[in-house]
Amino acid sequence: MLSQLTPQAFAPLEAVFKRGRFKEEFNVEVKLGGVHLCHIKIFTGRPPYYKPWAEVFNLSPRFVGGPWEGHVYCVLHRFMEPGDTLYVEYVDDPDTFAALRRGVPPRETRLGRLLTLCGFRVVKDWYFPEGWLEGGMKLQAEKV
């Protein structure tokens, strides 16, 4: 169902969709009033080998903890199937970053609670060393 995601789904935010590296991948830049909110990478899956997933990254620090951040996660949840994975980079989220460094379980951080409110089950804290394409540290959540 991620393949059915459209710019109108993010209204009243502006979402600019661009092709990705593969036919199953596309990139989205989300803006509010012309101001950058975040980037999203969507992979629609390649059955039976790869399941769909989405990743939210480059969240503008001015929107961390605000209502538009949650709106983005909840919109993605609405277009995902049970078991689909969402990755959320938290490098610009000082509360989540500090809580994880103190040993707080990922689901109990500010970001983890927000993802749970949108209907995700927070699985773990990740860093994928992929040789320059991995991005920052992120929480992994699954649609329940």
Give the whole-angstrom CA distance, residue 9 versus residue 72. Answer: 10
DSSP label of 81: P
Domain count within the chain: 1
pLDDT of the residue at 133? 60
Domain enclosing residue 97, as ranges: 2-143
Give the whole-angstrom CA distance, residue 2 versus residue 142. Answer: 14
DSSP label of 55: E
* CB atoms near residue 47 (< 10 Å): 9
Question: Taking each helix axis from N to C terminus, what angle separates 94-101 and 110-117, rounded to the nearest 10 degrees?
Answer: 110
pLDDT of the residue at 132? 60
pLDDT of the residue at 130? 64
What is the value of pTM for the model shown? 0.92
Q: Per residue of the chain (144 residues), what is the pLDDT tens digit?
A: 888 898 889 888 999 999 999 999 999 999 999 999 999 999 999 999 999 999 999 999 999 999 999 999 999 999 999 999 999 999 999 999 999 999 999 999 999 999 999 999 998 998 766 666 667 899 999 999
Give the CATH number, domain containing residue 109: 3.40.630.30
